[in-house]
Structure 1
Amino acid sequence: MFEQENSIQLRKIPILALGFASVTLSWSLFNLAVPVILEDDYNISLFLVGFIMTWDNIIAFFIQPAIGSYSDRTVTRIGRRMPFIIPGITFGSISFFLLSYSKERVLIYFLANIVIFNLFMALYRSPSVSLLPDLVKSKDRTIGNGIVNLMGGVTAGLSFAIGGKFLADDETRSAFAFVSIGMIICLLFLVFFIKEPKYDKIALQQDKQYSVFKQLKAEFNRIIKSEDRSLYFMLLAILTWFMAWNAIEAFYSIYVSKTFLPDIDSEEAAGEAGGVLFIFPVVFVVFTIVGGLLGGKLGRIKTMKIGLLFMLVGLIMAYFVEIDTFFGADMGWKTSFRIIFVIAAIGWGLVNVNSIVVVWELSPDNGIATGVYYAFASLAAVLGPTIAGFLMGIEIKALFPFSIIFIVISFFMLFRVTTGEAGQKSEMLGQAIGELVD
Structure 2
Amino acid sequence: PIISIHGVKVAVYWLGAQVSKDFASLMGVLHASNWTQFKAALSSWRAPSQNFVFGDRHGNIGLISAGYYPILSARDPWLVMNGNSGDRIVGSIPYREIPQSYDPKSGFVFSANQRPVAANYPYYLGTSFNFFSNGYRADEIHAVLSATSKITPADVAHLQNSVTDYLATQLVPWLVRQFNGVHEPPAVAAALHTLSHWNARMGASSTAASIWWTFLGDEIHDTFGPWFARYRVPQPTGSSLVVNQLSAPLVEDLQYMDLSQPSSPFFTPPGDAHKVTAGTVAREALGQAIATLTHKFGSSQQSWRWDRLHFREFPSLSGAAGLSYGPRGSSGDAWTVDAADGNLLSEAGPSWRMIVAFGDRGYAIYPGGQSENPLSPWYQNQIPDWFSGRYLPFGLGAQPGIATWTLEPRS
Alignment TM-score > 0.5, same fold: no
- Relative to its length, the structure with more strand (as a share) is 2
Q: Normalising by structure 2, what TM-score?
A: 0.32
Give the TM-score normalised by structure 1.
0.30
Larger Rg: 2
The structure where helix makes up a greater share of residues is 1
